[in-house]
Amino acid sequence: MTGLGGLNKSKHGVVLGLVQLQLPIIETPAQLAAQTQRICDMVAKARRNQSTMDLVVFPEYSLHGLSMSMAPELMVTLDGPEVAAFKRACVDNHIWGCFSIMEANPGGNPYNSGIIIDDTGAVKLYYRKLHPWVPVEPWEPGNLGVPVCDGPKGSKLALIICHDGMFPEMAREAAYKGAEIILRTAGYTAPIRHSWKISNQANAFSNLAITANVCLCGSDGSFDSMGEGMFCNFDGTVLVEGGGRPDEIITAEVRPDLVREARTGWGVENNIYQLYHRGYVAVKGGAQDCPYTYMRDMLDGKYQLPWPVEVTDGTSCGFDAPTRSYQP
């Protein structure tokens, strides 16, 4: 059930719009300003498109394009004019919005960040991408964890960005912290199509969560982003799936109340609970240990794969090998 894409909104429903935004070319501050306005215009289109919509979601790189430029004059701050414009667009159109920015970082490479703004213009969630798409992306690894915020209609929202969604631990962390709807924004191109689909479904099913996922769309003359917005229900089924048409807004009504019901009442496949309560039929409360070597090794700072890895920096993609160590 999607309420005919949200046209028929139920009492407990949250209507989301995923914008398959045309991949832009951003090389100058003037182009950045024009793209900021274009995104704001698309917020207004989303509101005109569907009066029931609660939240409109823009893809990763929707403001900056896929050039991977770290030019200081193109980087954005939370108190800068771009974010201010996004806030005004949400207020003017009485809608929540999820936006992508490449964030200036005086201490190193820029962050690939995302924000969720409510319909009063307040930033409700601020996230820095934990897993840049190495070796292609030059961004600083995120340092804000995986935040969760209160969303429209009493929902709980999280945001993960593109490559983040390929790590089961990311969606698991979001759900563990209470997220019922996990947004995933991306700039992926066609070679990732299959991995995109199965990971969006797996992230939903493994965590009894709704996933709402969208990529940039169209070509900038070099890259071809694939669009393919998709909503996955908490049982892993695809509710709505977009194609490859730029600027199409894919919509659905989702039901966080049914997520809560499943998380509370499911026995079979309530995996986020059963992860830490193994075999509770056999032993009271289940086994509450950590049998996973990689988890313990990460915590102890001795994570080591039992095979060699050849690509360990960005030199194959034209970036200098880094000399700084990560400072948590």
Considering only residues 5 and 198, tell me which one the structure prediction assigns the higher pLDDT. Answer: 198
Residue of 9, 90, 98, 129 marked catalytic: 129
Residue 48 has pLDDT above 70, yes or no: yes
Please list, residue by residue across 171-191, b when 16 or more beta carbons sit within 10 angstroms of its beta carbon and e when fewer do: bbbbbeeebbbbbbbbbbbee
Residue 62 in tokens:
């929707």
Residue of 90, 98, 149, 162 marked catalytic: 162
Residue 2 has pLDDT above 90, yes or no: no
Residue 90 in tokens:
């949400």
Q: Is position 177 annotated as part of the catalytic site?
A: no
Which percentage of the chain shows pLDDT scores above 70? 100
Residue of 9, 40, 60, 180 marked catalytic: 60
Q: How far is 187 from 196, CA to CA, in rounded Å? A: 11
How does residue 1 score in pLDDT terms, banded at 50, 70 and 90?
low
Q: How far is 14 from 20, CA to CA, in rounded Å? A: 19
Q: Which residues have CB under 8 Å from 77's CB, separation 6+?
A: 83, 103, 104
Residue 34 has pLDDT above 70, yes or no: yes
pLDDT the model gives residue 196: 97
Q: Which residues have CB under 8 Å from 34's CB, separation 6+?
A: none
168-212 confidence digits (pLDDT tens): 999 999 999 999 999 999 999 989 999 999 999 999 999 999 999
DSSP codes, 92-148: HHT-EEEEEEEE--TTSSPEEEEEEE-TTS-EEEEEE-SS--TTT--PPPP-S---E
Which residue's structure tokens are 């299959």? 194
Q: Is position 162 annotated as part of the catalytic site?
A: yes
Structural domains in the chain plus CATH codes: 3-274 (3.60.110.10)
58-97 confidence digits (pLDDT tens): 999 999 999 999 999 999 999 999 999 999 999 999 999 9
**Per-residue CA distances from 303 to 133, 145, 184, 295, 296 (Å):** 20, 19, 27, 8, 8
271-299 confidence digits (pLDDT tens): 999 999 999 999 999 999 999 999 999 99
pLDDT the model gives residue 258: 97
Q: How far is 320 from 311, CA to CA, in rounded Å? A: 13
Q: Is position 60 annotated as part of the catalytic site?
A: yes
Q: Which residues pair with 10 in a beta bridge?
A: none
pLDDT the model gives residue 4: 87
Please list, residue by residue across 70-100, b when 16 or more beta carbons sit within 10 angstroms of its beta carbon and e when fewer do: eeeebbbeeeeebbebbbebbeebebbbbbb
Q: How far is 52 from 5, CA to CA, in rounded Å? A: 10
How does residue 318 score in pLDDT terms, banded at 50, 70 and 90?
very high
What is the overall mean pLDDT for the chain?
Answer: 97
292-310 confidence digits (pLDDT tens): 999 999 999 999 999 999 9
Q: How far is 275 from 284, CA to CA, in rounded Å? A: 15
pLDDT the model gives residue 3: 81
The pairing of beta strand 210-215 with beta strand 181-186: parallel
Residue 232 has pLDDT above 90, yes or no: yes
